Amino acid sequence: MVVCGLPLIPMIIEIAGCKDISFSAVAADGDCLPVNSIIGALEGVSHQILTLERTILNFVQKLSGIATDTKKFVDLISPHNVGLLDTRKTTPGFRMLEKYACAKGGSFNHRIGLFDRILIKDNHLASQSIENSSELALYLTRVNAENPGVLIELEIDHPEQLMPAIESGVDAVLLDNFEPDQVKQAVQLNQNRIILEASGRINLDNIENYARQKPHFISTGAPVHRSKWIDIGLDWKFE
C-alpha cells in the first residue's frame, strides 16, 4: 500500500477534543509499505481512542486506497516518460483530500475547479454555436486575448480540431476519447508545440498502450472513483 492521510490524525484528535490522546507516526504519507506494517501509534485513555477509531480509519483507508491505485497507474506509464494527471471527478467536499492522495501516489494535480485555469469543453463550444475549424480558431484567439496569463486548454473530440488549437496559441489540448493510434497521429502533428493530454475511458488495462504513443500527460479519474479502501486495523497493546 501507499499510505496517505496521516497528517489528518492530529487534526481529528484536536477537533474531537480528545486532549489525552497522542499520535506518533512510524511512516509518512507517500511511503510504500508491505503487508502488516505499522504506520503509527495512538496513546492515551481507551475510551477516547475508541471514540476516534472509526473516523481515523475511514480517512486513512480511503486516502491510502486512492494513493495505492494511483501508483499502479504511474508505475505503468512512467517508463514511457508520460505523466499522470488527476481529474475533477471527486467526492463532493473531498476534492482537496483526494487530489492530495493522488499526488502522494505519484500523479500530478490537474486544475482544482473552474477558476484556476480555463478548460474549454465540447459543451462550451456548443453553447457558442461553433461548428467548424475557422469558427473555432476565431473563438480561441478571442479567449486567449481576453485572458492573458491564464493557462488555456481545449478539449477536442475530432482530430481536425487540433491544428486550429495549435495555431490559436492555446497552451494545451485534451484528446478526449481518442484511440491510441489517433493519439499517436496527434503527437506527430503537434511536433511538441503545445501540451497534449490523453483522456477518456482509460484504465489499468489500456493505459500503457496510450503511454506508448507519447502524449505529455494521461488523465484519469479511476484512482479516485474506482479505488478500494485499504484494509487497515487498530490493534491494542496494554502497558
CB atoms under 10 Å from CB of 119, counted, come to 17
Q: What are phi and psi of 106, to 5 degrees?
A: 110, 5
Q: With 80 as the cut, is the pLDDT of residue 230 above it?
A: yes
Of 29, 69, 176, 197, the catalytic one is 176
In sequence order, the 6+-apart residues with CB closer than 8 A to the CB of 65 are 227, 228, 229, 230
pLDDT tens, 203-212? 999 999 999 9
Residue 7's identity, in one-letter code, is P
pLDDT attached to residue 239: 72
Please confirm, yes or no, whether 155 is among the known catalytic residues: yes
Contact by Cβ (8 Å): 100, 63: yes
pLDDT tens, 54-72? 999 999 999 999 999 999 9
The CA angle 204-230-15, to the nearest 5 degrees, is 125
Grid cell, residue 129, equals 454555436
pLDDT tens, 121-139? 999 999 999 988 899 999 9
Helices (H), 6-45: 8-16
- Tell how far CA 47 is from the center of its chain: 37
pLDDT attached to residue 113: 85
Of 19, 54, 201, 226, the catalytic one is 54
The residue-averaged pLDDT of 210-217 equals 98
The residue-averaged pLDDT of 31-49 equals 95
The residue-averaged pLDDT of 151-161 equals 94
The residue-averaged pLDDT of 62-88 equals 97
Domain ranges of the chain: 8-70, 80-225
CATH of 80-225, one of 3.20.20.70, 3.90.1150.10, 3.30.450.20, 3.90.550.10: 3.20.20.70
Contact by Cβ (8 Å): 84, 220: yes
Q: What are the C-alpha distances in Å from 189 to residues 135, 170, 193? A: 21, 15, 9
Of 20, 43, 89, 160, the catalytic one is 89
Q: Mean pLDDT over all residues of the chain? A: 95
Please confirm, yes or no, whether 184 is among the known catalytic residues: no
Please confirm, yes or no, whether 181 is among the known catalytic residues: no
Please confirm, yes or no, whether 135 is among the known catalytic residues: no
CB atoms under 10 Å from CB of 72, counted, come to 16
* Lowest-confidence pick of 116-130, 168-182, 217-231: 116-130
Of 95, 111, 121, 184, the catalytic one is 121
Please confirm, yes or no, whether 121 is among the known catalytic residues: yes
Contact by Cβ (8 Å): 27, 33: yes
Helix, coil or strand: residue 155: strand
Using a cut of 0.85, tell me whether the model's pTM lies above it: yes
Q: What are phi and psi of 100, to 5 degrees?
A: -60, -45
Grid cell, residue 222, equals 479511476
Helices (H), the chain: 8-16, 46-77, 95-104, 122-127, 133-146, 162-168, 180-190, 207-211, 222-225
The residue-averaged pLDDT of 93-102 equals 97
